[in-house]
């Protein structure tokens, strides 16, 4: 018997609500290790037992077909679950719940009795040209049952070859429920994630994009350099001596073999290899050993011991369940946000058996610089991803990756030079809230204020009678500024916050304003103290910084001051 976690129950309820209220095809987003299979199984169980319907669960590869069938059978043993997959030599058609490979069934809908519900697992794997198979199958299903519904399930709502999977013109149209990585980390459902870059840096400036991913030949040249490989392998071994299981992502079979050889040499331990060429039984035994099991083998006097290290090439991503992985080494760059999340996601699972609650990501491919925090991935045009500015920086003392505004490394205490601080503030002010491996990191910085300005602010398109605000802009050094909004015309917390601000900044005899115009009139009349310095707090993942401290100056009567009613470029992104 199983019990859904609160967010899993919310996901299932969101699916039912969407199917009742809308005609579009919904998608559910739950991070790796968040228990998506439980939700999928619950929906299948309800559809078959409560509503007496038939369910088809589709996957893109035979491994997922096999895993889904086994998972649903273990969770819901009372369900009759069939499998239709040429690769698995199984062709069940009569069960109430059928798990199938799309390649095996897309043109064989007539073999099955009509389905009421079709679910696509790991729907981010559907390539653009692959949607045709699903559309073909669904069109045939709709001829038999016009009311058949479609649901997608994934941890990454963007294709591995670039772009969002939910669009009006796509197979899936909108996300009906999503829970974030950081939310599950904070609630203790998945592992904490930390990250470090490599000491030796590959040159990735020459990488080109083809079909949404870096050209394989370019990547192999950049990452296959002997100096890079040797340095990375030595560092991986050094950083994992006290760790349990390390999964290494490589660029090619040749690269994988070279890395495995060096890791074994430096560690004195076996480093397994899993590629597309690895036989299924060998792969299964390798995964069991990585989980800490001993398996039978003729090469180790009859028993192969558990493994600490394993190299793979684009294989052990989706569907790989090894809870005790506490190190993920990315010895490859990727232009795919989806692939990055899937690779790092191998370390998301908790392992109560081994005590693992945290996973270290060793990023040698500058992937986090390219995409930002793992819980708030910046999904960019793949053609531009290699040209974009980095979203994190690396501590030269310990290689920890930190957000750009951080000036003191939280791991080793390294102080970033002031000159670098000024440069980063100038170049990255607009993106500062996206940096770091996990959002929510808080930094506070103090700035001298050169001058400040205020204007009445009314958001474009707001309905008549909407309370207006006052935008106060503090112009700082290096040609950038920070703004805050005062809410004299609002009620509740916003009004109380304004009143506190006014009591601190305005002349004692100045009456409390009730309109935005009164605030600006007093401001320009010199009845509001000048601000010499401010303290700015930034939280990774939040666009707008917060001003949390002021060094106030004197009152200054202005005989003449021209304000501005011009609208800034970001008017649609204001918090009010």
The per-residue DSSP string of 295-329 comes to EEETTTTEEEPP-SEEEESS-SSTT---TTEEEEE
> Is the pLDDT assigned to residue 562 strictly greater than 80?
no
> Is the pLDDT assigned to residue 422 strictly greater than 50?
no
Residue 104 confidence (pLDDT): 93
Output the pTM of the full model.
0.66
Residue 378 confidence (pLDDT): 60
Tens digits of per-residue pLDDT, 168-220? Answer: 888 899 999 999 888 898 899 999 988 887 777 788 888 898 877 899 999 99
Residue 565 confidence (pLDDT): 40
Ordered by where they begin, the domains of the chain are 6-179 (3.40.50.300), 186-389 (3.40.50.300), 447-573 (no CATH)
Do the beta carbons of residue 231 and residue 200 sit within 8 Å? yes
Mean pLDDT of the 540-558 span: 78
Do the beta carbons of residue 442 and residue 537 sit within 8 Å? yes
> Is the pLDDT assigned to residue 99 strictly greater than 70?
yes
Q: What are the b/e assignments for 219-237, b being 16+ CB within 10 Å?
A: bbebbbeeebbbbbbbbbb
Least confident of 196-210, 257-271, 418-432, 493-507: 418-432
Task: Pick 445 or 253 by higher pLDDT.
Answer: 253
Is 183 exposed, middle or buried, given 0-12, 13-18 or 19+ CB atoms closer than 10 A?
middle
- Bridge partners of residue 471, in order along the sequence: 455, 485
> Is the pLDDT assigned to residue 444 strictly greater than 50?
yes
């Amino acid at each position: 018997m199983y019990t859904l976690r609160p967010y899993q129950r919310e996901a299932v309820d969101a699916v039912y609500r969407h199917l009742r209220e809308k005609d579009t095809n919904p998608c559910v987003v739950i991070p790796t290790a968040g228990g998506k299979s439980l939700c999928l199984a619950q929906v299948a169980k309800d559809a078959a037992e409560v509503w007496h319907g038939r369910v088809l669960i589709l996957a893109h590869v035979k491994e997922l077909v096999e895993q889904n069938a086994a998972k649903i059978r273990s969770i819901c043993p009372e369900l009759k679950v069939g499998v239709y997959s040429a690769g698995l030599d199984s062709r069940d058609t009569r069960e109430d719940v059928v798990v199938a490979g799309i390649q095996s069934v897309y043109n064989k809908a007539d073999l099955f009795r009509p389905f009421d519900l079709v679910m696509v697992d790991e729907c981010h794997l559907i390539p653009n040209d692959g949607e045709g198979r699903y559309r073909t199958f669904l069109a045939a299903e709709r001829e038999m049952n016009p009311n058949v519904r479609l649901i997608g399930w994934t941890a990454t709502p963007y294709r591995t070859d670039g772009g969002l999977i939910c669009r009006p013109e796509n197979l899936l149209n909108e996300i009906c429920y999503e829970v974030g990585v950081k939310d599950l980390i904070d609630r203790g459902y998945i592992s904490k994630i930390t990250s470090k870059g490599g000491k030796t840096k590959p040159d990735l400036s020459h990488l080109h994009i083809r079909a949404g991913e870096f050209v394989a030949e370019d990547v192999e040249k950049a990452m296959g350099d002997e100096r890079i490989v040797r340095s990375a392998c030595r560092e991986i071994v050094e950083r994992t001596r006290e760790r349990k299981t390390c999964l290494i992502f490589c660029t090619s079979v040749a690269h994988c073999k070279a890395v495995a050889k060096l890791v074994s040499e430096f560690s004195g331990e076996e480093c397994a290899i899993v590629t597309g060429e690895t036989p299924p039984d060998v792969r299964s035994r390798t995964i069991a050993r990585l989980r800490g099991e001993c398996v039978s083998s003729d090469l180790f006097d009859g028993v192969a011991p558990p493994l600490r290290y394993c190299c793979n090439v684009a294989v052990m991503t989706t569907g790989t369940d090894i809870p005790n992985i506490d190190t993920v080494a990315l010895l490859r760059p990727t232009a795919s946000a989806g692939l990055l999340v899937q690779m790092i996601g191998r370390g998301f699972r908790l392992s109560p058996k081994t005590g693992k609650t945290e996973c270290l990501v060793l990023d040698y491919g500058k992937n986090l610089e390219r995409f930002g925090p793992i819980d708030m991935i910046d999904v960019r045009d793949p053609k531009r991803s290699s040209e974009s500015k980095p979203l994190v920086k690396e501590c030269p003392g310990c290689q920890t990756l930190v957000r750009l505004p951080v000036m003191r490394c939280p791991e080793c205490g390294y102080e970033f030079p002031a000159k670098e601080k000024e440069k980063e503030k100038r170049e990255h002010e607009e993106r500062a809230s996206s940096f770091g491996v996990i959002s929510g990191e808080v930094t506070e910085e103090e700035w001298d204020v050169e001058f400040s300005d205020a204007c009445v602010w009314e958001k474009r398109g707001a309905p008549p009678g909407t309370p207006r605000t006052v935008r106060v802009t503090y112009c700082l050094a290096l040609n950038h500024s920070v703004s805050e909004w005062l809410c004299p015309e609002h009620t509740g917390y916003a009004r109380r916050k304004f009143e506190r601000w006014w009591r601190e900044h305005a002349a004692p005899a100045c009456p409390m304003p009730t309109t935005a115009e009164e605030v600006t009139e007093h401001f320009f009349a010199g009845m509001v103290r000048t601000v010499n310095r401010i303290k700015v707090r930034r939280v990774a993942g939040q666009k707008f910084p917060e001003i949390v401290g002021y060094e106030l100056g004197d009152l200054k009567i202005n005989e003449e001051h021209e304000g501005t009613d011009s609208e800034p470029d970001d008017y649609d992104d204001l918090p009010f």
